[in-house]
Amino acid sequence: MTKTAAPLVVTQGDPSGIGPEILLKAYLARDDYGLPPFFLLADPAHIARVAGELQLDVKIEATAPDKACKTFAHALPIVSLDYDVRGFPGRPDPADAASTISAIERAVACVVKGDARALVTNPISKSALYDAGFAHPGHTEFLATLAHRHYGGARRAVMMIWAEELAVVPITIHIPLSDAPKRLTRDLIVETGEIAARDLAARFHIEKPRLAFAGLNPHAGENGALGREEIDVIAPAIATLRARGVEASGPHPADTMFHAAARATYDVALCPTHDQALIPIKTLAFERGVNVTLGLPFVRTSPDHGTAFDIAGRGVADPRSLIEAIRLAGRIS
């Protein structure tokens, strides 16, 4: 099977979250959105139960990756994880953590072998995985570890949240806000910018990606009056990127970067802190944002939301972010 002919692989995520529901709804909408063929790594019996409880008319067929494309036209192809799900929608069971982790590991292996051409991950519950001994901060870091395991070399994964209106990269991610200024180094900014520029060119076919950097402080530091991070750290990093041929601008005041006219001047906004980046895109495209992992030797996308245990099993989960994640994975792979 060639990579161009291979389907996408989708992981189950936490089986007690909304992942199974939105996956079933995405499959039902496959023709409406022109989704590429995909197969799901999951417990077929659990997915069938969820479909029945939510009255979603989806035919399910256990299959192998090399049969998935033919199956996709008439049934949802599921490659069994060989784990029986113990939890229920909205009521996770710690015993299911092993299957959640296994799905990610096997999905990466499928991409490495050429059984799938890209990976789409459903939401996981990090707290449930931590209780089971999961040693990684989250999905992104675990995928970087798996990439190193299969391909070797140092791997740093970068999170980009993408929608048609806006793409953003938080330079520091899941750390306390008080730690961000200490973690925001010139090297980190330069490395993040180079990874973003390289993958936007290679994956998104943007010939000369335009990177816009936000300042850390109000008014981008007001020439040092409101903080020196822009002068001492961010601006020198931008100068280094420019010297290396990357089209980078800033640091810009974060509060003036995200209106329509400003967005037209760049391809991705890189922000020093998590919320600086994610608040604008979740305001503009809350239901359609896609988490794209840059810096990996394979394509990985994910919905830009969590497990939503509070609404799991109620039939109200919106599948649009997963649909967009599947569409984007097909497009850039």
Residue 291 marked ligand-binding: yes
Tally the C-alpha atoms within 13 A of residue 236's C-alpha that lie toward its C-beta.
10
73 burial type by CB count under 10 A (0-12 exposed, 13-18 middle, 19+ buried): exposed
Contact 312, 19 (CB under 8 A): no
Residue 183: DSSP 8-state: H
Helix 44-53 × helix 19-28 angle, to 10°: 80
> 150 labelled as ligand-binding?
no
140 is in an annotated binding site: yes
- What is the distance between the alpha carbons of residues 330 and 137, in angstroms, rounded to a whole number? 27
Distance separating alpha carbons of residues 216 and 61, to the nearest angstrom: 51
Give the CA distances from residue 324 to residues 35, 124, 145, 286, in Å, rounded to whole numbers and listed in that order.
9, 18, 26, 12
Q: Is 282 annotated as a binding residue?
A: yes
d(CA 60, CA 56): 11
Confirm or deny that 67 is annotated as ligand binding: no
The reply, when asked if residue 174 is annotated as ligand binding, is yes
136 in a known ligand binding site: no
The enclosing H or E element of 119 equals strand 119-120
- The whole-angstrom separation of Cα 329 and Cα 302 is 9
Q: Could you tell me where the DSSP H helices lie in the chain?
A: 19-28, 30-33, 44-53, 68-72, 97-113, 126-131, 139-151, 180-183, 186-202, 229, 235-243, 260-263, 274-284, 320-332
Q: Assign 12 to helix, strand or coil.
A: coil
- The answer to whether 219 is a known ligand-binding residue is yes
DSSP string of 291-331, one letter each residue: EEEESSSS-EEEESS---TTTTTTT----HHHHHHHHHHHH
Give the contacts of 275 (CB within 8 A, at least 6 positions apart).
177
DSSP one-letter code for 38: E
Residues annotated in a binding site: 139-140, 174, 219, 274, 282, 291, 300
Residues annotated in a binding site for a divalent metal cation: 174, 219, 274
Residues annotated in a binding site for substrate: 139-140, 282, 291, 300
